[in-house]
Structure 1
Amino acid sequence: MIINQLINFIQEYYRTKDFIPLHAPVFEGNERKYVLDTLDSTFVSSVGAYVDEFEKKITDYTKAGYAIATVNGTAALHTALYLSGVKAGDLVITQALTFVATCNAISYLGAAPVFVDVNRETLGLCPQALLNYLEEYCEVRDQVCYHKNGARVRAVVVMHTFGHPAKIIELKKVCECFYIELVEDAAESLGSLYKGQHTGTFATMSALSFNGNKVITTGGGGMILCNEEGAANRAKHITTTAKQPHPYEFYHDEIAFNYRMPNINAALGCAQLEQLNGYIKNKRALASLYQSELISSELEFVVEPLGAHSNYWLNAVICPSKQYRDEMIAHTNQAGIMTRPVWQLMHTLPMFKNALRGPLVNSINLADRLVNIPSSVFDVRGLK
């Protein structure tokens, strides 16, 4: 039985029969040194040298024009949508196959998500499904896109699922035709490229995440990516309570957010970023081993899309049926190996059950059959 074979492979790879998590952080570089440096300096909050350094290193790595550090990925996405002009009453098209933070960020602004199907190859928003929905339900008047219900379609949010790049160039073309802002939820895709360009740098505004389970972590943290200086300055201003610079006066010129990343978190991020290339190399090697192990089996390993270079943040397999999925998850977890189904589709959650949506054939099929499998790139006991 392939499930038993997979269990044996995972236990041999991690050299343990103890509990094996889905994805655990690695701390083997300068993490302790840099964090202790912030403690010695007493600059542990949102003012400190490591915040600026981390932002610069992210821009250097992704080739984005600017990066603005935030307390978490949801805050980054919320701000990106805010700066993209999303307002109360607007519609924002996204995928039902996503983490709830995507839709939460839309809802914070009083907008409503609209769900469109994902592409079977990328697991991200499908350009053809997006085009089909817009042509059937929307129209452009004076370079503004409106839904047939009268609401303005302000933005499209695409998520690069499990680190696999969506067809972002194709999605961007559709959005341009309908005068809609494109925002990238690149929370899971640091280190992933589409046609040689880093995810998060195609749209005007994008968001990264450095949660504890991401490829690199700052404990909690996020980053806004953008390419325009004006947008970057605005993002930094709005995420630091809109405080005007002054030696001692506290003057704030608008309602804003307290979203700035603390220096202690940025210190951890700087150390993690020094090791990112090695992490991705090891993650891609693990993905290749999984693919070889499962070849010709009933489990389909999810591989990077054509034209993409994926970070393989979370490895995944597609089972023959929902029953098989349930049996696999139960069997592996009983063996101490953490596996999980994909997130509940957003339209099945109570707060989004009445949301507008198109056909979700691929999303439903994947939700019934997809399983995430261990993706850490080190032995969970600390062995190499």
Structure 2
Amino acid sequence: MAAALVLAQLRAQATDADTVPPLGLVYLTDHYAEHAQAILDHLGAELPQVTDWVGAVGVGICASGVEYWDEPALTVMLCDVAPERFRVFNGVAPLSATQSADGFEAQTALVHADPAIPDLDELVRELAERTLGHYLFGGLVASRAGSLQVARSSRGAVAGQGRCAAEGLFQGGLSGVAFGPDVGIVSRVTQGVRPVGSARRVTAADGPLVLALDGEPALDVLLHDLALPSHDLPAIVARLRQVLVGLQAPPAAAATPRPGRVPLRLGDDVLVRHIVGLDPAQRAFLVADHVAPGTLLTLCERHVQAARADLVRICAEIRDALGADEEALRAPVEASARVAGAVYVSCNGRGGGHFGAPSAELQIIRQALGEVPLVGFFAAGEIAHHRVYGYTGVLTVFVAD
């Protein structure tokens, strides 16, 4: 029934029955996970002109102006992109590091990845290097059904690789679709946290263990900046459950950050990670990532108003990048005429009522960009540039030719 309703809506929007876009993006919640293959086969049979399908299964998915969180849901967007302008890839047929035999070169790529695969950060960076723009957008797929991904290509399966590639469903690994240089996109990252302390330079670290900040024992600096008494362990643990760290690689010619200066917001060069442990013996603490000496570390916390404001900011930046004039900025419908479609990947921690009401996050985007076709999902980590983020949203729009 869900597939039938989606098909009816797509057909109602079709302007020419003889031309159907060749690429479909499909996202479904894990309530439909056991039926994913049947849904994909049904969509393919009903829309035979759509030769390639890409997508994922998640706890939550989104469409234009609405999110579906922990309920049965299916969303599909058809992309009118010529076959020579995109390539579907997966673990069986990976994205080529060089120009393909038919001359295709990837400028950017929509990526779905398994959060449990080893060396994930390195694999994401390597994949980004296979694109001319060194830019990816997407997220880590996580649901109660595992990391189930859709990547069905009209170019067929690699010989000897079995049924998986032909059927188009993959469990784990990386998959997605790469776009050529003549497919225009504008993409931005929005943070979901606000700083609660000044930037500190990591002066000693051992992997995830932060030993010193600005030359002082890291744990002592952490407790000082949060105004926590060193003797009250329950209070420390309770507060640190609410605190995250923003990690930023130092600029090539960076000066030592001035003490006491708290940034107004964290940019997309900051990776937000959890504090996962304390080491009182070494006066150190652990974070959920490798930390190199010289990294700038900022204490931060999730904050609804900051997240809303930053989402509005990136929507305004996208409108500016599309060349909207002042009149169009006051009338989002004018700016939306330049947008052919959009993909939004948001953190699982932002889904549901985090923004104050159901679908409030998607309503902000609709209000800012107007009625543009949009699909996406809620991820266990967001991918943008060549990095894996947390507590962020990645909004990518396709620019109309």
TM range (shorter): under 0.3
Larger radius of gyration: 2
TM-score, normalising length from structure 2? 0.22
- Which structure has the highest helix share of the two? 1
Q: TM (normalized to structure 1)?
A: 0.23
Which one has more relative contact order, counting CA pairs under 8 Å at least 6 apart?
1
